[in-house]
Amino acid sequence: MNVKLTLLDTGYCRQLEMFSIKGGRLKSIDFHAIAALIEHPVHGLYLFDTGYSPRFFEATRLFPYALYQKITPVVTTPQQSIKAQLSAHGIEAQRISGVLLSHFHADHIGGLQDFPGAKLFCFSAAYEHIKGKRGLSALREGYLPDLLPSDFEKRVTFVDHGVPKALSQTYQPFSQAYDFFGDGSMLLVDLSGHAIGQFGLFLRDQEQGDVLLCADAAWSSTAYRQNLLPHALAQFIMGDIRSYRENLKRLHELSVHWPSLKILPTHCAEVWQMSQGVFAWRS
Ligand SMILES: [Zn+2]
């Protein structure tokens, strides 16, 4: 079954390109945090991640969390929050049935508290890794505890507690995924590495065809096309560098043998430019 995918830019942080990709320039680039609205014809409205929101500034006011904002200065406005963007298109927050959280970095959970009625979905490995962390141990994981709703555990479903199904040859080298609705429309695949327990989402847009939202398993389209790791320093922040390498290589292989698949990294500038043409708001 096809869905409708809309990509939403929630703001950006600045980083040196040389940290994001080996051989990159000593030049500041904007790292946009893109979240996605998914409209399913039967099951309604879902979000893939929630990007930044102004709550980020509140959550980084005090030490040690203030270091986060110092290391990666963030630019976002109230109008760029997912909630505000949905509202501007006539969709109130309570219409969002569920939020899929690829992982718990602050630029993916920033808007989460704007959807208090939504069910939440993630991999248990991702949550177990950040659960209860505060202060520097949270910051080390790129996680800001104040962004997580206090009733998170009551609302969450751990997708990886289900039984994965085997994928067809088309998805090789990925061999299994969690069929979110049981209708094949949204397939969650383990992309652990950048963060432990991070997943990606295969879906088929009604106009643009097959898409893989790969979150931060690659930081740019160049990275998966050329199988290029980030700078050695940036590799330190990865949850598990070995898995990261393996999954980046898998993405590379997938892109080679399935060239029509649109692989969309969360922070890729090229994806954001392209999305304004094809994954922007459509009536
Ligand atoms: Zn991340």
For the stretch 25-44, pLDDT in tens is 777 888 899 999 999 999 99
Question: Nearest CA to 201 among 143, 263, 258?
Answer: 263
Q: In this predicted structure, what is the pLDDT of residue 69?
A: 87
226 — pLDDT class (breaks 50, 70, 90): very high
Residue 105 Cα, ligand 1 centroid: separation in angstroms? 5
- For residues 203 and 213, give the distance between their C-alpha atoms in angstroms, rounded to a whole number: 8
Percent above pLDDT 70 for the chain? 98
| Confidence check: pLDDT of 203 > 90 | yes
- How far, in Å, is the centroid of ligand 1 from the Cα of 67? 16
Domain boundaries, the chain: 4-278
Closest CA to 30 of 49, 9, 44: 9
The pLDDT of 71-92, averaged and rounded, is: 96
Which whole number is the average pLDDT over 265-277?
Answer: 87
Q: Is 24 helix (H, G, I), strand (E, B) or coil?
A: coil
- CA–centroid distance, 198 to ligand 1, in Å, is 9
Task: Kindly report the average pLDDT of the chain as a whole number.
Answer: 94
More confident residue, 18 or 145: 145
- In the reported structure, the alpha carbon of residue 276 is separated from the centroid of ligand 1 by a whole-number distance in angstroms of 22
Report residue 275 CA to chain centroid gap.
Answer: 15
Q: Can you give the pLDDT at residue 118?
A: 98
Q: Provide the pLDDT for residue 89.
A: 96
What is the whole-number distance in angstroms between the Cα of residue 126 and the centre of ligand 1? 11
The DSSP symbol for 256 reads H
pLDDT recorded at residue 277: 80
Q: Is the pLDDT of residue 53 over 80?
A: yes
Q: Inform me whether the pLDDT recorded for 232 exceeds 80.
A: no
Expressed in angstroms and rounded, the spacing between residue 104 Cα and the centre of ligand 1 is 7
Cβ neighbours of residue 94 closer than 8 Å, sequence gap 6 or more: 117
- Asked if residue 64 has a cis previous peptide bond (ω within 30° of 0), the answer is yes
Q: How far is the CA of 217 from the centre of ligand 1 (A)?
A: 8
Question: Taking 90 as the threshold, does the pLDDT of residue 17 lie above it?
Answer: no
- Alpha helical stretches, state H, the chain: 17-20, 55-59, 66-71, 82-88, 106-109, 124-130, 135-140, 152-155, 221-226, 232-235, 241-257, 269-278
The mean pLDDT value for 113-131 works out to 98
Q: Are 103 and 197 in contact (CB under 8 A)?
A: yes
Sheet holding 28-40, edge to edge: 74-75, 4-16, 28-40, 44-48, 96-100, 119-122, 156-158
Residue 274 confidence class, pLDDT cut points 50, 70, 90: confident
pLDDT confidence band for 162 (50 / 70 / 90): very high
CA of 260 to the centre of ligand 1 (A): 25
Topology of the domain covering 4-278: Metallo-beta-lactamase; Chain A (3.60.15)
